[in-house]
Structure 1
Amino acid sequence: MEETHRENGPRATAHALAEVASAVIRTMTDRRGMSFTAASTLARLERGGPARLTALAVAEGVTQPSMTQLVQRLERQGLVTRVGDPGDGRVSLVAVTDTGRDVLAERRRARDARLAELLAGLPVEQQRELGAAMRTALPLVRRMTEDDARPCPPAGQHTGSTR
């Protein structure tokens, strides 16, 4: 009985959820037109608004020179643009363009269509069970990513300041 409890306990569920997330990212990411880091950076800008290049590099776990190159490529493709920081005119921020938003929306539509096609191959009862599990997991995943989705603070601002 203890073994069954371990197989169905929080650690087993956490492992399964992480494995599913990893597999979905690996197999559903369209790598032909854009790297995962590029898509992630665009999505971060879409969620959080304009950000400093240095903050993007930290958030995406890449070096500043790598992020500089990525942003330059995205600029050439018309997916991001540089805008002035309203709080500090010396600083420029990176912002997603309408074209960038359109590209993200199309990638999401393609991903969702592919997943829906795969799910349609499951028996109806399994589709319902998986749907219920996703509705249960989604609030947890949203809480996990809440900090990640917050905009990067502009130059000179520190979060948690009590001035």
Structure 2
Amino acid sequence: MTELHVPHPMKLLGRVTRGFYRLADVELRPFGLATGQLPVLVSLKNGQALSQAELARIAQVEQPSMAQLLNRMERDGLVERLPDPQDKRSRLISLTAIASERLPRAKRQMDALTSQALAGFTPEELAQFGAFLARMNDNIERMAGEAAESTPDGH
């Protein structure tokens, strides 16, 4: 009997994610959007303005990376920086009307792409798959918290 070779789950998860993002970037390009912008777009879609620090935390990226992303998004007319009413030295990030107009159509494209990627799975399989991923995410979050606690500066 031959042994079935299945890639390591973490390698496969990375491959799936990269492949999906490549396809999603193609789908989002006509809207002037990219997958790297999705954490910002989704976080701001309900009209709430957030700080750069909050967006970096949500996207789980470092502040300089978020600053670069926001600079490109501002250049492309997707976000704007407004004075923070609580702290005049700070700026809050919000979506522009252009981004708000593009988001519903881009979401429909992403939903269609997701449906295609999940084709053939039963509702039960999707629920189980989601539970597995949620458990893995919980483990990673716990590990990250423990790692942060074990470093002298907490970073």
Partner of 2:51: 51
Structure 1 gaps, min length 5: 146-159
2:132 matched residue in structure 1: 137
Q: Residue 93 of structure 1 corresponds to which residue in structure 2?
A: 92
Note closer, same or farther for the CA distance 1:100–1:128 as it changes in structure 2 (3 Å cut).
Answer: same
| Structure 2 counterpart SS, 1:91 | strand
Q: Which residue pairs with 1:37 in the alignment?
A: 36
Q: Is the counterpart of residue 20 in structure 1 residue 16 in structure 2? A: yes
Matching of residue 62 in structure 1 with residue 65 in structure 2 = yes
Report the CA distance shift for 1:31/1:118 in structure 2 as closer, same or farther (over 3 A): closer
CA distance in 2, matches of 1:25, 1:19: 10
5 Å matches for 1:138-157? Answer: 138-140=133-135, 143=138
Q: In structure 1, what is the Cα distance between the partners aligned to 2:69 and 2:113?
A: 30
Aligned-partner SS, 2:50: coil
CA contact (8 A) 1:38 1:70 kept: no
Residues 77-112 of structure 1, C-alpha deviation per residue, up to 9 Å, x if partnerless? xx3232322431122111224653453343222122
* RMSD, aligned α-carbons: 4.1
How far has the Cα of 1:35 moved from its partner? 3.1
Higher RCO, 1 vs 2 (CA within 8 Å, ≥6 residues apart):
1
Mean Cα deviation higher: 51-60 or 102-111: 51-60
Q: Decide whether aligned partners of structure 1 residues 89 and 118 sit closer, same or farther in structure 2, where only a CA change above 3 A counts.
A: closer
- Identity among equivalent positions (%) equals 23
Q: TM-score, normalised by structure 2?
A: 0.56
1:153 match: none
TM-score, normalised on structure 1? 0.54
Counterpart of 1:154 in structure 2 is none
For residue 157 of structure 1, what is the aligned residue in structure 2? none
SS in 2 for 1:62: helix
Matched to 1:14, the amino acid is M
Shift in alpha-carbon separation, 1:103–1:142, aligned structure 2, 3 A: farther
Local SS of the residue matching 2:94: strand
| Structure 2 Cα separation of the partners of residues 60 and 25 of structure 1 | 22
